[in-house]
Amino acid sequence: MDALILRLDAPLMSFGGVVVDHHNVTDRFPGLSLFAGLLANALGWSHGDGETIGALQDRLIVASRWDIEPVAIDDYHTVDLGQPKMAEPGWTTRGAPEHRAGGEAKKGTHIRYRHYWANGVLTAVLALTDDTDPDLTTLEAALTRPVRPLFIGRKTCLPNSPILAGRTSGVDVLAILKALPRVRCASRRTRSEKMAARWPAEIGDNREDQLRAVYDQRDWKNQWHSGRRIVAEGLIEELPGCS
């Protein structure tokens, strides 16, 4: 199996989750919708391409782990969407300005409690179920030179470094993830440590207590989250040596 190695490294990251009232929570690991949106942004697609983004989301196979554990923080967030400055285009593609249309709630001050992961580094292995377009080579090229600036969950979550960290192959995404050296290891450590990880439940010899349901598949045409799948979560061993 061919796969891309992605490195999510940013001061703040948010992976979405089930929204409760004004609380925009973040999941423990990035879901399929985050990677679908990230790749769609790199390819230059828009929210109007809902069916195309959804088809890509259905083809994703992802395993991820925390190389450096993050710290959870909450942000009290307010925004007045009626201000004139909010109507001006500012999020740009290469050589062309772009304006976010937004929804119906365009007036008044909106209050949110937004949840983030701070100062963590996550490694993900991403593969596809088939070679239809866009294939892995197309996605690799898009991440190398994205049409738009990339962000990790929210536009304020800008990466510290390029998200694409390489391309490799292996038996499956979990085997590849286990074979990758941990990043930014502390030289003073004398023993390997375990890393929290998530992978598809269909892979590996998983115990029942490792399985959990997640709701990370977005209905891109109607712009809401739907769908349920089972994933496995657990600890994986760190390889000797550091990258």
Q: Residue 5 in contact with residue 144, Cβ under 8 Å?
A: no
Is residue 227 a part of any domain in this protein?
yes
The radius of gyration of the chain from alpha carbons, rounded to an integer in Å, stands at 18
Please report the pLDDT score of residue 112 as a whole number.
78
Residue 39 is given by DSSP the state H
Answer yes or no: is pLDDT of 52 > 70.
Answer: yes
* Domain count along the chain: 1
The region of weakest confidence among 2-16, 49-63, 151-165, 190-204 is: 190-204
Please report, for the domain that includes residue 133, its CATH number. Answer: 3.30.70.2660
Residue 131 has pLDDT above 90, yes or no: yes
Residue 50 lies in a domain: yes
Please determine, for residue 210, whether its predicted confidence score (pLDDT) is greater than 60: yes
Neighbours of 29 (CB within 10 A): 24
Confidence of residue 185 (pLDDT cuts 50, 70, 90): low
74 falls within a domain? no
Please give the Cα distance from 133 to 116 (Å, whole number).
Answer: 33
pLDDT for 144 beyond 80: yes
Asked if residues 57 and 37 have their Cβ atoms less than 8 Å apart, the reply is no
Q: Which residue has the tokens 């009232």?
A: 21
What rounded mean pLDDT belongs to the chain? 86
- Burial (CB count within 10 angstroms: exposed 0-12, middle 13-18, buried 19+), residue 25: middle
Give 121's contacts (C-beta < 8 A, 6+ positions apart). 7, 8, 9, 66, 67, 68, 183, 184
Supply the range of the domain harboring residue 149: 2-12+28-69+118-180+190-237
Average the pLDDT over 229-233 and give the result. Answer: 96
Q: Does residue 37 sit within a domain?
A: yes
Within-domain flag for 97: no
**CA 61 centroid distance within chain:** 12
Asked if the bond preceding 146 is cis, omega within 30° of 0, the reply is no
Residue 242 lies inside a defined structural domain of this protein: no
> Residue 97 pLDDT more than 80?
no
Positive or negative CA dihedral for 227, 3, 117, 201?
Answer: positive
pLDDT at 234: 97
**Domain-embedded: residue 35:** yes
**Residue 144 included in any domain:** yes
Task: Judge contact between 111 and 78, C-beta under 8 A.
Answer: yes
Q: Are 5 and 166 in contact (CB under 8 A)?
A: yes
